[in-house]
Amino acid sequence: MYKFLIILLFLASLKAAEEYQLGEGAQIGSLPLYMGGYVSLDYKSAENEDRYRIDDIAVLGYGGYDKFSYMAEVEFKKFYVRTYSSEYDNTSHNTRLYLERVYLDYNLNENYSFRAGKYNSPIGFWNLLPINVLRETSSSPVSSSILFPKFTTGLGLSYTTFGTGELKIDIMAQNNHDLDAKYNNYEVDRHYGVGLTYEVEDYTYKLNGGYFHKDNIVNEPIYYMLLSAKYEADKYQILSEFGTQTSKDDTATDYAGYVQAVYRATEQHIGILRLETYDDNVANIQESLAIVGYTYRPLYPIAIKSEYQFHEESDLDQILFSLSVLF
Protein backbone atom coordinates (compact mmCIF):
# COMPACT_ATOMS: atom_id res chain seq x y z
CA MET A 1 0.00 0.00 0.00
CA TYR A 2 2.87 2.31 1.00
CA LYS A 3 4.67 1.74 -2.33
CA PHE A 4 1.41 2.03 -4.26
CA LEU A 5 0.75 5.48 -2.77
CA ILE A 6 4.26 6.65 -3.69
CA ILE A 7 3.81 5.51 -7.30
CA LEU A 8 0.34 7.11 -7.44
CA LEU A 9 1.72 10.41 -6.18
CA PHE A 10 4.54 10.29 -8.71
CA LEU A 11 2.13 9.60 -11.57
CA ALA A 12 -0.02 12.48 -10.35
CA SER A 13 3.03 14.73 -10.58
CA LEU A 14 3.12 14.11 -14.33
CA LYS A 15 -0.05 16.18 -14.49
CA ALA A 16 1.92 19.18 -13.36
CA ALA A 17 0.51 22.61 -12.57
CA GLU A 18 3.35 24.47 -14.26
CA GLU A 19 5.63 23.85 -17.19
CA TYR A 20 7.89 20.95 -16.26
CA GLN A 21 11.65 21.34 -16.35
CA LEU A 22 13.89 18.33 -15.84
CA GLY A 23 15.68 18.53 -12.50
CA GLU A 24 13.21 20.85 -10.85
CA GLY A 25 10.31 18.52 -10.02
CA ALA A 26 6.66 19.32 -10.56
CA GLN A 27 3.82 20.67 -8.49
CA ILE A 28 0.89 18.36 -7.82
CA GLY A 29 -2.13 20.31 -9.04
CA SER A 30 -2.39 23.41 -6.89
CA LEU A 31 -1.33 21.62 -3.70
CA PRO A 32 1.66 22.84 -1.68
CA LEU A 33 3.44 19.68 -2.84
CA TYR A 34 6.28 19.30 -5.34
CA MET A 35 7.41 15.85 -6.42
CA GLY A 36 10.64 14.72 -7.96
CA GLY A 37 13.21 12.00 -7.65
CA TYR A 38 16.38 10.51 -8.98
CA VAL A 39 17.89 7.30 -10.30
CA SER A 40 21.46 6.13 -10.68
CA LEU A 41 23.11 3.18 -12.40
CA ASP A 42 26.79 2.39 -12.17
CA TYR A 43 29.47 -0.02 -13.31
CA LYS A 44 32.74 -0.76 -11.54
CA SER A 45 35.68 -2.69 -12.91
CA ALA A 46 38.49 -3.69 -10.56
CA GLU A 47 41.30 -6.20 -10.91
CA ASN A 48 39.44 -9.09 -9.29
CA GLU A 49 35.80 -8.17 -9.74
CA ASP A 50 33.29 -6.30 -11.88
CA ARG A 51 29.94 -4.96 -10.73
CA TYR A 52 26.76 -3.60 -12.36
CA ARG A 53 24.28 -1.85 -10.15
CA ILE A 54 20.98 -0.02 -10.15
CA ASP A 55 21.88 1.82 -7.00
CA ASP A 56 19.29 4.49 -6.28
CA ILE A 57 15.64 4.84 -7.18
CA ALA A 58 14.26 7.65 -5.06
CA VAL A 59 11.11 9.75 -4.86
CA LEU A 60 10.99 13.00 -2.95
CA GLY A 61 8.18 15.36 -2.05
CA TYR A 62 8.29 18.79 -0.46
CA GLY A 63 6.37 21.99 -0.06
CA GLY A 64 5.62 24.80 2.26
CA TYR A 65 3.03 27.15 3.60
CA ASP A 66 3.70 30.44 5.36
CA LYS A 67 6.55 29.82 7.84
CA PHE A 68 6.41 26.02 7.55
CA SER A 69 7.97 23.73 4.99
CA TYR A 70 8.55 20.01 4.80
CA MET A 71 10.55 17.37 2.93
CA ALA A 72 10.15 13.60 2.62
CA GLU A 73 12.20 11.14 0.62
CA VAL A 74 12.02 7.37 0.20
CA GLU A 75 14.49 5.27 -1.72
CA PHE A 76 15.31 1.83 -3.03
CA LYS A 77 19.03 1.35 -2.37
CA LYS A 78 21.15 -1.25 -4.21
CA PHE A 79 17.97 -2.26 -6.02
CA TYR A 80 19.83 -4.60 -8.38
CA VAL A 81 23.44 -5.65 -8.00
CA ARG A 82 25.38 -8.12 -10.15
CA THR A 83 28.90 -8.89 -9.06
CA TYR A 84 31.07 -11.28 -10.99
CA SER A 85 34.60 -12.50 -11.55
CA SER A 86 36.21 -15.53 -13.17
CA GLU A 87 35.20 -17.55 -10.09
CA TYR A 88 31.67 -16.40 -9.25
CA ASP A 89 28.63 -14.57 -10.53
CA ASN A 90 26.24 -13.18 -7.89
CA THR A 91 23.06 -11.22 -8.35
CA SER A 92 21.05 -9.59 -5.55
CA HIS A 93 17.85 -7.56 -5.38
CA ASN A 94 16.92 -5.28 -2.53
CA THR A 95 13.29 -4.20 -2.64
CA ARG A 96 13.22 -2.67 0.83
CA LEU A 97 12.03 0.93 0.69
CA TYR A 98 14.18 3.11 2.96
CA LEU A 99 13.15 6.33 4.62
CA GLU A 100 15.99 8.66 3.70
CA ARG A 101 14.68 12.02 4.94
CA VAL A 102 11.52 13.34 6.52
CA TYR A 103 11.42 16.67 8.32
CA LEU A 104 9.45 19.78 9.09
CA ASP A 105 11.03 23.25 9.06
CA TYR A 106 9.80 26.35 10.83
CA ASN A 107 11.32 29.64 9.65
CA LEU A 108 10.86 32.01 12.55
CA ASN A 109 12.38 35.01 10.78
CA GLU A 110 15.30 35.85 8.48
CA ASN A 111 17.77 34.67 11.13
CA TYR A 112 16.31 31.63 12.89
CA SER A 113 15.06 28.34 11.50
CA PHE A 114 14.07 25.18 13.39
CA ARG A 115 13.92 21.61 12.07
CA ALA A 116 12.47 18.36 13.42
CA GLY A 117 12.76 14.92 11.84
CA LYS A 118 15.39 12.96 9.95
CA TYR A 119 17.72 15.12 7.88
CA ASN A 120 21.17 15.22 6.25
CA SER A 121 23.57 16.25 9.01
CA PRO A 122 24.69 19.78 7.99
CA ILE A 123 28.38 18.83 8.22
CA GLY A 124 30.85 19.86 5.53
CA PHE A 125 29.75 20.33 1.92
CA TRP A 126 29.62 16.82 0.45
CA ASN A 127 27.13 15.48 2.96
CA LEU A 128 24.46 18.04 2.01
CA LEU A 129 24.43 17.04 -1.67
CA PRO A 130 25.43 13.38 -1.50
CA ILE A 131 23.44 11.88 -4.39
CA ASN A 132 25.20 10.72 -7.54
CA VAL A 133 23.70 13.22 -9.99
CA LEU A 134 24.60 16.24 -7.84
CA ARG A 135 28.14 15.30 -6.93
CA GLU A 136 31.01 15.58 -9.39
CA THR A 137 32.20 11.96 -9.35
CA SER A 138 30.49 8.55 -9.25
CA SER A 139 32.33 7.75 -6.03
CA SER A 140 32.26 9.75 -2.82
CA PRO A 141 35.34 10.52 -0.76
CA VAL A 142 35.96 7.98 1.99
CA SER A 143 35.97 10.82 4.53
CA SER A 144 32.31 11.56 3.76
CA SER A 145 31.22 8.20 5.21
CA ILE A 146 33.54 7.44 8.14
CA LEU A 147 33.81 10.59 10.24
CA PHE A 148 30.27 11.46 11.35
CA PRO A 149 26.65 10.23 11.03
CA LYS A 150 25.37 11.22 7.59
CA PHE A 151 21.83 11.60 8.94
CA THR A 152 20.48 12.96 12.19
CA THR A 153 17.05 12.13 13.59
CA GLY A 154 16.06 14.81 16.05
CA LEU A 155 16.05 18.57 16.25
CA GLY A 156 18.02 21.18 14.35
CA LEU A 157 18.46 24.90 14.77
CA SER A 158 20.13 27.31 12.42
CA TYR A 159 20.98 30.97 12.92
CA THR A 160 22.10 33.07 9.94
CA THR A 161 23.25 36.66 9.88
CA PHE A 162 24.07 38.77 6.84
CA GLY A 163 26.84 41.38 6.88
CA THR A 164 29.63 41.69 4.32
CA GLY A 165 29.28 37.93 4.06
CA GLU A 166 26.90 35.30 5.39
CA LEU A 167 27.53 33.70 8.77
CA LYS A 168 25.55 30.60 9.73
CA ILE A 169 25.50 28.49 12.88
CA ASP A 170 23.93 25.01 12.77
CA ILE A 171 23.08 22.93 15.80
CA MET A 172 22.09 19.24 15.57
CA ALA A 173 20.60 17.27 18.45
CA GLN A 174 19.61 13.60 18.50
CA ASN A 175 18.86 11.64 21.65
CA ASN A 176 16.77 8.78 20.25
CA HIS A 177 16.89 6.00 17.68
CA ASP A 178 17.14 6.76 13.97
CA LEU A 179 13.83 6.86 12.08
CA ASP A 180 15.35 4.29 9.70
CA ALA A 181 18.61 3.09 11.16
CA LYS A 182 19.34 0.91 8.14
CA TYR A 183 19.68 4.06 6.10
CA ASN A 184 22.62 5.71 7.80
CA ASN A 185 26.35 5.04 7.88
CA TYR A 186 26.30 4.81 11.69
CA GLU A 187 23.43 3.43 13.77
CA VAL A 188 23.35 6.05 16.50
CA ASP A 189 21.16 6.78 19.50
CA ARG A 190 22.86 10.07 20.32
CA HIS A 191 24.37 12.78 18.17
CA TYR A 192 25.09 16.36 19.13
CA GLY A 193 26.92 18.66 16.75
CA VAL A 194 27.54 22.28 15.92
CA GLY A 195 28.67 23.91 12.69
CA LEU A 196 29.95 27.36 11.79
CA THR A 197 29.83 28.50 8.14
CA TYR A 198 31.13 31.76 6.72
CA GLU A 199 30.53 32.63 3.08
CA VAL A 200 31.94 35.72 1.40
CA GLU A 201 32.04 36.27 -2.36
CA ASP A 202 33.30 33.01 -3.95
CA TYR A 203 34.71 31.52 -0.74
CA THR A 204 33.01 29.42 1.93
CA TYR A 205 34.63 28.14 5.12
CA LYS A 206 33.08 25.66 7.49
CA LEU A 207 33.99 24.16 10.86
CA ASN A 208 32.00 21.28 12.39
CA GLY A 209 32.40 19.45 15.64
CA GLY A 210 30.34 17.06 17.71
CA TYR A 211 29.99 13.61 19.15
CA PHE A 212 27.80 10.54 18.65
CA HIS A 213 27.15 7.23 20.33
CA LYS A 214 26.57 3.99 18.44
CA ASP A 215 23.17 2.41 19.01
CA ASN A 216 22.93 -0.84 21.05
CA ILE A 217 26.66 -1.01 21.58
CA VAL A 218 28.11 -0.34 24.99
CA ASN A 219 31.12 1.76 24.08
CA GLU A 220 32.57 5.20 24.36
CA PRO A 221 31.16 8.15 22.42
CA ILE A 222 33.11 9.22 19.33
CA TYR A 223 34.05 12.88 18.97
CA TYR A 224 34.63 14.34 15.51
CA MET A 225 35.80 17.55 13.92
CA LEU A 226 35.73 18.58 10.26
CA LEU A 227 37.25 21.63 8.62
CA SER A 228 36.03 22.42 5.08
CA ALA A 229 36.65 25.11 2.49
CA LYS A 230 35.24 25.82 -0.95
CA TYR A 231 36.15 28.22 -3.72
CA GLU A 232 33.53 28.45 -6.45
CA ALA A 233 33.72 30.49 -9.64
CA ASP A 234 31.92 30.09 -12.95
CA LYS A 235 34.62 27.83 -14.44
CA TYR A 236 36.32 26.36 -11.37
CA GLN A 237 35.55 24.82 -8.04
CA ILE A 238 38.04 23.78 -5.39
CA LEU A 239 36.61 21.84 -2.50
CA SER A 240 38.38 20.41 0.51
CA GLU A 241 37.33 18.64 3.70
CA PHE A 242 39.62 17.28 6.39
CA GLY A 243 38.52 15.73 9.66
CA THR A 244 39.42 13.56 12.58
CA GLN A 245 37.77 11.42 15.24
CA THR A 246 38.77 10.70 18.79
CA SER A 247 37.42 8.19 21.28
CA LYS A 248 38.54 6.32 24.39
CA ASP A 249 38.26 3.07 22.47
CA ASP A 250 40.59 2.48 19.53
CA THR A 251 38.05 2.45 16.68
CA ALA A 252 38.27 6.15 15.88
CA THR A 253 39.50 7.42 12.51
CA ASP A 254 42.75 9.31 13.00
CA TYR A 255 42.31 11.47 9.92
CA ALA A 256 40.42 11.54 6.62
CA GLY A 257 40.15 14.18 3.97
CA TYR A 258 40.38 15.21 0.36
CA VAL A 259 41.03 18.09 -2.00
CA GLN A 260 39.00 18.17 -5.20
CA ALA A 261 39.42 20.47 -8.21
CA VAL A 262 36.68 20.79 -10.82
CA TYR A 263 37.12 22.50 -14.18
CA ARG A 264 34.01 23.23 -16.25
CA ALA A 265 35.37 23.47 -19.78
CA THR A 266 31.80 24.05 -21.01
CA GLU A 267 28.32 23.57 -19.56
CA GLN A 268 28.49 19.91 -20.65
CA HIS A 269 32.13 18.90 -20.20
CA ILE A 270 33.64 18.77 -16.72
CA GLY A 271 37.02 17.51 -15.57
CA ILE A 272 37.74 16.44 -11.99
CA LEU A 273 40.86 15.65 -9.97
CA ARG A 274 40.54 14.48 -6.35
CA LEU A 275 43.29 13.56 -3.92
CA GLU A 276 42.27 11.63 -0.82
CA THR A 277 43.97 10.33 2.27
CA TYR A 278 42.62 8.53 5.33
CA ASP A 279 43.44 6.26 8.24
CA ASP A 280 40.39 4.14 9.09
CA ASN A 281 40.94 2.11 12.26
CA VAL A 282 37.66 0.17 11.90
CA ALA A 283 38.53 -1.22 8.46
CA ASN A 284 42.21 -1.03 9.37
CA ILE A 285 43.13 0.77 6.14
CA GLN A 286 45.55 3.62 5.81
CA GLU A 287 46.03 4.90 2.28
CA SER A 288 46.07 7.77 -0.16
CA LEU A 289 44.48 7.74 -3.58
CA ALA A 290 44.00 9.95 -6.61
CA ILE A 291 40.88 10.10 -8.74
CA VAL A 292 40.73 11.49 -12.25
CA GLY A 293 37.26 11.93 -13.69
CA TYR A 294 35.32 13.26 -16.61
CA THR A 295 31.62 14.08 -16.48
CA TYR A 296 29.36 14.80 -19.41
CA ARG A 297 26.10 16.59 -18.65
CA PRO A 298 23.93 16.90 -21.79
CA LEU A 299 21.59 18.76 -19.44
CA TYR A 300 22.60 19.60 -15.86
CA PRO A 301 20.20 17.07 -14.25
CA ILE A 302 21.64 14.22 -16.36
CA ALA A 303 25.17 13.09 -15.55
CA ILE A 304 27.24 10.52 -17.43
CA LYS A 305 30.44 10.04 -15.46
CA SER A 306 33.67 8.14 -15.72
CA GLU A 307 36.55 8.02 -13.27
CA TYR A 308 39.75 6.16 -12.65
CA GLN A 309 41.00 5.58 -9.12
CA PHE A 310 44.76 5.25 -8.57
CA HIS A 311 45.37 3.54 -5.21
CA GLU A 312 48.68 3.13 -3.41
CA GLU A 313 48.33 -0.60 -4.02
CA SER A 314 47.78 -0.81 -7.74
CA ASP A 315 45.65 -3.97 -7.52
CA LEU A 316 43.00 -1.80 -5.83
CA ASP A 317 42.83 0.54 -8.84
CA GLN A 318 39.38 0.67 -10.39
CA ILE A 319 37.37 2.34 -13.08
CA LEU A 320 33.80 3.54 -12.57
CA PHE A 321 31.06 4.64 -14.94
CA SER A 322 27.64 5.92 -13.95
CA LEU A 323 24.48 7.37 -15.35
CA SER A 324 22.27 9.41 -13.03
CA VAL A 325 19.21 11.58 -13.55
CA LEU A 326 17.34 13.98 -11.29
CA PHE A 327 13.74 14.60 -12.27
Partner 1 sequence: MKRLLILLLLATLSFASEYVVISNKKMKDLSKTQIKAIFLKKINIINDLEVIPINLGTRNDLREKFEKDILKMNFVRLKSYWTKQHYLGHRPPLSMKSQQSIKAFVKKVDGAIGYIEKSALDDSVKVLYQWGD
> In terms of CB distance, is 87 or 234 closer to partner 1?
234
| Nearest distance from C-beta of residue 151 to partner 1, angstroms | 14
Rounded to 10 degrees, the C-alpha dihedral 104/136/205/286 comes to 110
| Closest among 309, 295, 271, 261 to 142, alpha carbons compared | 309
| Nearest distance from C-beta of residue 9 to partner 1, angstroms | 16
> In terms of CB distance, is 199 or 220 closer to partner 1?
199
Kindly give, in sequence order, each residue whose CB lies less than 8 Å from that of residue 14, ignoring residues fewer than 6 positions away: 26
| Nearest distance from C-beta of residue 234 to partner 1, angstroms | 5
Instruction: Give, in degrees to the nearest 5, the angle at Cα 256 between 250 and 257.
Output: 170
| Nearest distance from C-beta of residue 222 to partner 1, angstroms | 27
| Nearest distance from C-beta of residue 324 to partner 1, angstroms | 12
The answer to whether the beta carbons of residues 305 and 294 sit under 8 Å apart is yes
> In terms of CB distance, is 103 or 242 closer to partner 1?
103
| Nearest distance from C-beta of residue 27 to partner 1, angstroms | 9
SS3 234: coil
In angstroms, rounded to a whole number, what is the distance separating the alpha carbons of residues 314 and 104? Answer: 47
Alpha-carbon separation of residue 64 from 24, 59, 70, 96, 215 (angstroms): 16, 18, 6, 29, 33
Instruction: Give, in degrees to the nearest 5, the angle at Cα 260 between 254 and 266.
Output: 165
> In terms of CB distance, is 69 or 247 closer to partner 1?
69
> In terms of CB distance, is 165 or 221 closer to partner 1?
165
Binding region for partner 1 (CB under 8 A): 23-25, 34, 36, 38, 60, 62, 64, 66-67, 69-71, 107-110, 128-129, 131, 134, 160, 162-166, 201-202, 232, 234, 264, 267, 300-301, 326
In angstroms, rounded to a whole number, what is the distance separating the alpha carbons of residues 23 and 3? Answer: 23
For residue 107, the surrounding DSSP H or E stretch is: strand 97-107
> In terms of CB distance, is 36 or 156 closer to partner 1?
36
